[in-house]
Amino acid sequence: MARKGSSKVKTGCITCKVKCDEGKPHCNRCTSTRRRCDGYAAPKSDSWLLCRRPRHLSRGAAGAAESRALQYFCEIAGPFLPGPSDPYFWTQLVMQFSSFEPVVRYSVIAISSLYEECQTEAPSGTSIGDNTLALRYYNAAIAELKVMQNPSLVLLVCILFICIESLQSNREVAIRHCNHGIAIMESDVTAAAWAKEHLKPVFRRLSVFPYMFGSGNEEFPSPVALDDPIPVSFSTFSEARAMMDDIFSRAVRLVRYGSPYRLGHLRYADVPIGLLEEQEKLNYRLDLWQTLFTDLDTRLTPQNMPATQRSDLGEEYIKLALRLHLSISCEISRISSNMAFSVDETSYDAYLCGFRRVIEQFTRFGAITLDKARTAKGCPKFIFETGFTPMLFCVATKCRDLSIRLTALSLMKLLGVHRENLWEADTAYAVARRVIEIEHVVILNELGQPLGPPLYPGLPPDRMRVRKAWTEFEESIYADKFGQEMSGKVVTFYMRTPEDTIYHRTEFLATGGSDKAPENSSPLNRTR
C-alpha cells in the first residue's frame, strides 16, 4: 500500500522527476524549497509541434542547392506566399515541420525552387520539367507520401502539393489535390488538433477554387464548414477571418449552383427551396458578421494585429490591408449571393453604392501602396492565397457605372499580383477590359481609357451585358492579318439576344502584360 503523500507521476518537472505536483509554470515543490524549476519535458502528442520553430532550415541539408533553397524559402517565398492572409502556416508551421519531416522538407525545396524561377522568369507559369531541382524533390516527396500513414501530415503535404501545381498553372491537378484534401479533412475524425486548427482554414479558402475554375459538377467538393458556433463578438482578426472564409466559400458555391437558373436550361424555373434558404442564411450571417467586425475594428490597435513579415511597410499599411480584404469580401459576398439566381443583369444596378464603397476603399489603399512601393523590398509575382484581383475583376465586370469600373481596371494594375493561386492578373485584366468594351461599345487604350465617346456612357441595356466570361486556361497562339503571332487566351462571353436567348461569343484575347493595343483582341467567329 502506497504511503499517503507519495503518489508518483510520469509528467513531472525535470527537477522533481516523480514527486512533482505539476504546478505551472513552476511546480510548488521547487518554489517552496527555493530550488530552480527547470520546467517540463515536451509531451509526445502533436501539440508540441506548435511550440518550436527552427531558426535555420538549412541545418542538416544534404547539399548546397538544398540548403540554398531552404534558406530562400525562409527569407523570401514563405513570407510572401500567404498574401493578405495570416502568415503563420507558411512562416512557422511549414518551416517547423521541414526540420524533421523529410516529405515536408522535399516539398518546401520544390516550392522554393519553382517560386524563385517564377520571380525571375515570365509570370505565366513555370514548368517543373525544366527545373531539375524541383522535379527531383517533388518526386521524392511523392514517394514519401505514398507510404505515409499519418492523416494530419498527409493534409499538410496536400496543401504543399497544391502550391507546387499552382506554381506551374496546372489547374486540373491542383483542383484534384484540393478535392482530395477536403475529402480527408471532412471525413477523417482522427486528424490531430493542430491540423484542425491550422489546416482547416486553409482548405476552407481553397474550397472555392473548384467552383471558380472547375469545369464540371463532379469537381465540386463539400464546403469545409465551421465547427464552432458563431461567436457573440470577435476578439481577433483570425476569428473574423474564419467566419468570413466560411461565408465567402458558401457564396461562391451558391453562385455556381445558381448558374443553370441564370444561364442554363432552368432559366425562369423555380429555384429549389434549399438554395433559397441558403441565400437567406448567407444574408443573415453577412449582417451579423458586419456588426461584429465593425465593433472589432473600433477596438483593434496595431499592437494586437496579426503578425506579419512585411513590417517595413508600416503599421497603417498592415492594418488597412488586413481590414480591406475582410471588408471587401463582405461586400462582394453580399452582392454575389443576392444575384445568384437573377436572369436580369440590370439587377446588379441596385448595388452601385456597394460597388462604389469597394472602389473607395481600394483607392485609399492604392494611394498608400503607391507610396510604400518606393521603399518596399521587392514584390511577389505569385501568392498562394487569393489577393485583390478577383474582387476588382468582379467590380470591373459586374458594376456597369463606367467611371467606377474604369477605376477598378486601373487598380487591377496597381494592386494585383501577377498570379494569385490560379488567378492570372494579366488574363483577368484583359477579360475585364474586353467586357467593358463590349457593354459600352467603346475601345480602350493601353491605359484602360476610352479612345472615343462610348455608345452607352451610362448604364448599358441588358441585351448588351455579358452574363459570364469563361476563359480557357491553356495558352493559345493567334496570328493576326499581318502574320504576326501572339499568345493569349480564348474567352467565351455569354450574352442575351433581343429574343431573350443565351448565346456564346468566343474571342481571342492577347495577354502577357495586358499592355498591347486593343486591336490584338480578335473574334474567332465561333458565335453560337
- For residues 332-367, b (16+ Cβ closer than 10 Å) or e, as one string? bbbbbbbbbbebebeebeebeebbbebbebbeebbe
Q: What's the Cα-to-Cα distance from 54 to each of 58, 93, 103, 113, 152, rounded to whole Å?
A: 10, 10, 17, 20, 20
pLDDT cut 70: percent of the chain above it: 74
**Over residues 262-272, mean pLDDT:** 91
Backbone torsions φ then ψ of 42, nearest 5 degrees: -65, 135
Beta pairing partners, 76: none
Condensed to tens digits (0 to 9), the pLDDT of residues 385-394 reads 888 999 999 9
Which of helix, strand or coil describes residue 40? strand
Q: What is the pLDDT of residue 227?
A: 63
Distance CA 470, CA 83 (A): 25
Task: Give the count of alpha carbons within 13 A of 525, CB side only.
Answer: 0
Measured between alpha carbons, how far apart are the two ends of the chain, in Å?
A: 90
Condensed to tens digits (0 to 9), the pLDDT of residues 275-307 reads 999 999 999 999 999 999 999 878 765 444 444
Does position 2 have pLDDT exceeding 50, yes or no? no
Question: Which stretches within 188-314 are classed as H helix?
Answer: 193-198, 200-206, 208-213, 237-257, 259-262, 273-299
Q: What is the pLDDT of residue 372?
A: 56
Condensed to tens digits (0 to 9), the pLDDT of residues 436-457 reads 999 999 999 988 999 999 999 9
**Over residues 208-217, mean pLDDT:** 78
Q: What is the pLDDT of residue 370?
A: 63
Condensed to tens digits (0 to 9), the pLDDT of residues 343-373 reads 999 999 999 999 999 999 999 888 776 655 5
Q: How does residue 148 score in pLDDT terms, banded at 50, 70 and 90?
A: confident
Which of 389, 320, 332 has its CA nearest to residue 361?
A: 320
Backbone torsions φ then ψ of 489, nearest 5 degrees: -125, 145
Q: What angle do CA 78, 79, 81 make, to 5 degrees?
A: 65
Q: What is the pLDDT of residue 9?
A: 43
**Over residues 488-513, mean pLDDT:** 88
Averaged pLDDT of the chain: 81
Q: Where are the beta strands (DSSP E) in 44-185?
A: none
Q: What is the pLDDT of residue 525?
A: 40
Q: What is the pLDDT of residue 280?
A: 97
Task: Give the number of other Cβ atoms within 10 Å of residue 316's Cβ.
Answer: 11
The pTM is what?
0.81
Q: How does residue 60 score in pLDDT terms, banded at 50, 70 and 90?
A: very low
Q: What is the pLDDT of residue 51?
A: 34
Does position 261 have pLDDT exceeding 90, yes or no? yes
Which one-letter amino acid corresponds to residue 480?
D
Q: What is the pLDDT of residue 111?
A: 96
**Over residues 185-193, mean pLDDT:** 77
Condensed to tens digits (0 to 9), the pLDDT of residues 72-107 reads 999 889 988 988 777 889 989 999 999 899 999 999
β-strand 476-479 against 423-424: which pairing, if any? Answer: unpaired
In terms of Cβ atoms closer than 10 Å to its own Cβ (0-12, 13-18, 19+), residue 301 is exposed
Q: What is the pLDDT of residue 262?
A: 92
Distance CA 425, CA 34 (A): 64
Q: What radius of gyration do the chain's Cα atoms show?
A: 26
Most confident of 182-196, 254-268, 317-331: 254-268
Q: What is the pLDDT of residue 507?
A: 93
Q: What angle do CA 116, 121, 124 make, to 5 degrees?
A: 105
Condensed to tens digits (0 to 9), the pLDDT of residues 175-188 reads 999 989 988 887 77
* 21 against 402, higher pLDDT: 402
Q: What is the pLDDT of residue 431?
A: 96
Inter-residue contact 84 to 385 (CB < 8 Å)? yes
Does position 42 have pLDDT exceeding 70, yes or no? no
Distance CA 246, CA 226 (A): 7
Q: What is the pLDDT of residue 12?
A: 59
Matching residue, cell 501530415? 153
Which one-letter amino acid corresponds to residue 14?
I
- CA dihedral sign of residues 293, 298, 299, 303: positive
